[in-house]
Amino acid sequence: MWIEPNERIVNQVQILDESGSIIGTNPDIPDEDLIALYKWMVQARTFDQRALKLQRQGRIGTYAPMIGQEAAQIGSAYALEKRDWIYPSYREVAASLVHGVSMSNFFLYTMGNLQGGSSASVTNVFPVQIIIGAQCLHAVGGAWASKYNSENSVSVAYIGDGGTSQGDFHEALNFAGVYKLPVVFFVQNNQWAISVPRSKQTASDTIAQKAAAYGISGIQVDGNDVLAVYSTMKEALERAREGKPVLIEAVTYRQGPHTTADDPTKYRQNEEVEAWLDKDPLKRMKAFLLDRNLWNEELDQQEFEIANEKVSKAFEKASSSPTSKTSEVFDLVYEQKPKQLIEQQNSIVTEGALK
């Protein structure tokens, strides 16, 4: 029997509609966690908006905004345990903050300071991966090590819809399926890979259905619904710990530019952006909390003020940190430097080629 293209039906998981009303099963999530999820989203958006302004002022380098994707990142990362690992691309600010990376470290990274990417040993968050899709292979390697050492930790690779066109993504899924590794591939389908739309990335109806080709589980979730993302990720982690890899497609939208070097008005229409703004993840979660009498406008204003103060302090700390020296790059390559690397480092220091 022929397997016809897109004959597989994928039903999207959703708990909150665009107005913040429950349409799915009422999640069994404690009130304090519901509030914490929203607070993290407020913090992430506040950081993102400030970072964009700082880049425009020339105070930090190129930045990849994640505004609009807070629910996807916060919901997924909040479900993790401390022992689990995150393998991020360049847009996972929110997820990394939830898992322990400090805001000052992120600012250091955007300033080109080497210390900005050196917190993996204490946060279980790998350094930012710029090479599209490469983090999927790294996550598989980490998951294999976890399985070999019986650590019971899960590796989570974050990737965008554009990254699923890379060979590394497919190789990683294939490897994970064959060796039954504790790994979750979390795809943030934000509709655009720079100027290339989702429709040009793949002919399949969904990204989630690609899991079937590799013998692993796949699921699609409303990426602007933080409750749906959190609940889906919790189940995915349980499966992964049992050696059942999972591919999650979180359908969301990048409200801002791809990076600060991009102008999205050149390739997408305002009508499209406005339609997605109606699905804004913060607006949706806030409405839900207000309806349950867990939140009010006064608390909301206070939370944004608190978030702004935290960002200000983080930037001040990063700005006052010592700048990196080129010779220090060699200290962050291997745990034990080989002879050739030591020689290169010494030559730079003694010859003064680079300061």
Which domains does the chain carry? 31-324 (3.40.50.970), 325-355 (no CATH)
Task: Kindly state the average pLDDT of the residues 249-270.
Answer: 97
Whether the pLDDT of residue 354 is over 70: the answer is no
355 pLDDT higher than 60: no
Is the per-residue pLDDT at 24 higher than 80? no
Q: How far apart are CA 230 and CA 223, in angstroms?
A: 10
**Considering only 4-8, 47-51, 275-279, 310-314, which range has the smallest mean pLDDT?**
4-8
Of 319, 310, 284, the closest CA to residue 47 belongs to 310
pLDDT at 119 over 70: yes
Phi, psi angle pair for 86, to nearest 5°: -110, 135
Please give the sequence-ordered ranges of beta strands (E in DSSP) within the chain, or none if there are none. 85-87, 155-160, 183-189, 192-193, 196-197, 217-222, 246-251
The one catalytic residue among 254, 268, 284, 334? 254
258 labelled catalytic: yes
End-to-end alpha-carbon separation of the chain, Å?
66
- Residue linked to tokens 């994970």: 176
Using DSSP, state whether 249 is helix, strand or coil: strand
Whole-angstrom distance, CA of residue 139 vs CA of residue 186: 11
Q: What is the mean pLDDT of residues 322-328?
A: 87
Q: Count of residues for the chain? A: 355
Buried b (16+ CB within 10 A) or exposed e, 208-222: bbbbeebebbbbbbb
pLDDT digit string (tens) for 162-172?
999 999 999 99
267 is catalytic: yes
Q: Which of 56, 83, 267, 292 is catalytic?
A: 267
Q: What is the mean pLDDT of residues 127-151?
A: 97
Q: What is the DSSP letter of 204?
A: S
pLDDT tier for residue 351 given thresholds of 50, 70 and 90: low
Is the full-model pTM beyond 0.85? yes
Q: Give residue 238's pLDDT.
A: 98
Q: Tell me which of 45, 99, 138, 258 is the catalytic residue.
A: 258
Q: What is the pLDDT of residue 164?
A: 98
CA gap 25, 95 in Å, rounded: 25
Question: What is the Rg, in whole angstroms, of the alpha carbon atoms belonging to the chain?
Answer: 21
C-alpha distances (whole Å) from 108 to each of 80, 111, 117 are 25, 5, 8
Share of the chain above pLDDT 70, in %: 98
